Structure 1
Amino acid sequence: MKPLIILRPAPGAGRTADKAMAMGLAVRLCPLFAAEALACTPPPAGDFDALLVTSAQTVRFGGAALRAYRTLPTYAVGAATAEALREEGFADPVAGDGDASAIAARIAADGHRALLHLSGEAVAPMDAGPLRVTRIPIYRMMPLSCDPLDLSGGVLLVHSAVAGARLAEIVPENQRATCDVVAISPAALAACGSGWGSAQAADAPNDAAVLALARRLCE
């Protein structure tokens, strides 16, 4: 069995690892980034009619600043982020099942216009449509060192385009053929570059789809 190598940072890496081990996969953690908080002064909640959170890391580092927005209609890009918001006292966050553009369309369809987007320093492109978006970075991802030999022969899980670009930096193209790449989205896959033993994007941007694809490659 090939090892499944999870490249995402904590705490998401731990959640993915638990699911993978429950499937009987041999798991290794090799995070390419670690998150750290940014100093910020978020604006008053009264300036907005909805809140968007596109990462569970935002919830992790938001603290009191995030809790100030619990009265706003709140949207999360996915189920994991919505669950993290519920744990912080957000009563009924709406969870998307696509990318940031998809949840932005849902927010607009619900009639909101002034949107506060709490996020990381780097974000994926988002089609905001009619929304007036104020984005406040709450955290940033700091790159970690990784020996390409630690990745050799594994099935590599890539959870973002930023991680894909970092992976392409770490592993020279002439050393990629022994690795298989499974990415959470076409954008994440494209960022990984070429030369891998195989490279595929999951058919949905979530852990269930990523791990189902990875299992077939590991076995």
Structure 2
Amino acid sequence: MSRPVAILRPEPGNAATAARVEASGWTAIRLPLFEVHGRAWQAPDPAEFDALVLTSANAARHAGAEITKLAGLPVLAVGIATADAAREAGLHVSLTGTSDAASLLADARAMGVSRALHLAGRDRLATSPAITHTITVYASDALDHDPVVTRELSGAVALLHSPRAARRLAELADAAGLNRSGVRLAALSAAVARAAGAGWDTVAVATTPDDASLLDAAQSVLG
């Protein structure tokens, strides 16, 4: 019998990933570690920028109507999910990254982007000379979980979609007295895996930053 798979990302992504997990015949543990909500903001004059950088799908999902004022800017999206969310918001995607934010921003500079606008979350790490202005359009607040609930992850494979989720899982596990060696991880990138720290049973890393690849990584450590 395979291990259950814990989905830690916030909604609506949590439900979407859980549906894919269950469609694969695996048991899903839905345990979102964060709750995402939009922040009020005003779109600047798009003529001041040569690109729009999105390093999370949440930026497009929670930006509201203001984002449509930037529809003339080419979008540089960190991955497939972010690109899809941008298109759903009415934006034009010119580049979809295949790794992480740092790689996307390196590609942006190589393309000659020098005046990018970054729509981002409150808790962000991405910086680059290619970005001249960053606006916070959403926030992700940590959710508290009873230690008893956290200990249910023992024997599971936890899916990690972001470095912040990896760090939060480590905090909750240690606070609950959960033995890290009893949990296996599937991480969206090497940076996400590093953020989780050491001591876990096994850590598999997705080959590309998307849900399909992450589930492939999870499958490799389910047995």
The alignment's TM-score, normalised by the length of structure 2, stands at: 0.89
Deviation string 1:65-98 (CA, Å, 9 cap, x unpaired) is: 2111001111111111111111121244421112
Paired residue type of 1:136: I
CA deviations over 1:37-76 (Å, ceiling 9, x no partner): 2232332212111111111111111112211100111111
- Please list the CA deviations of residues 192-214 of structure 1 after superposition, one character each: whole Å capped at 9, or x if unmatched: 22222222333332222221121
Query: 2:110 & 2:207 partners in 1: Cα distance?
Result: 25
2:205 aligned to 194, 201, 205, which one? Answer: 201
Partner of 1:133: 132
Give the count of matched residue pairs: 217
Q: Structure 1 unaligned runs (5+)? A: none
In structure 1, C-alpha distance between the alignment counterparts of 2:36 and 2:99, rounded to whole Å: 23
**Maintained 8 Å contact 1:155/1:218:** yes
CA distance in 2, matches of 1:111, 1:181: 37
Amino acid at match of 1:184: L
Task: Specify the code of the residue in structure 2 equivalent to 1:149.
Answer: R
Tell whether the 8 Å contact from 2:43 to 2:70 is kept in structure 1 after alignment.
no
Residue by residue over 1:81-139, the C-alpha shift from the partner in whole angstroms, topping out at 9 and shown as x without a partner, is 1111111212444211121122223323333211000011122344x2x5243111111
Corresponding residue of 1:45: 46
Are the structure 2 counterparts of residues 81 and 174 from structure 1 closer, same or farther at C-alpha, using a change threshold of 3 Å?
closer
Residue number among 168, 171, 182 corresponding to 1:169 in the alignment:
171
Structure 2 residue runs without a partner (length 5+): none
The sequence identity of aligned pairs, in percent, is: 36
Mapped pair 1:145 → 2:144? yes
Cα pair 1:40 1:137 within 8 Å, conserved: yes
Whole-angstrom distance in 2 between the partners of 1:69 and 1:75:
13
Structure 1, 62-71 or 93-102: larger mean CA deviation: 93-102
Shift of the alpha carbon at 1:174? Answer: 5.5
Equivalence for 1:213: 217
Are the aligned partners of 1:25 and 1:218 in contact in 2 as well (CA < 8 Å)?
no
Deviation of residue 164 (structure 1)? 0.8
Name the SS for the 1:171 alignment partner.
helix
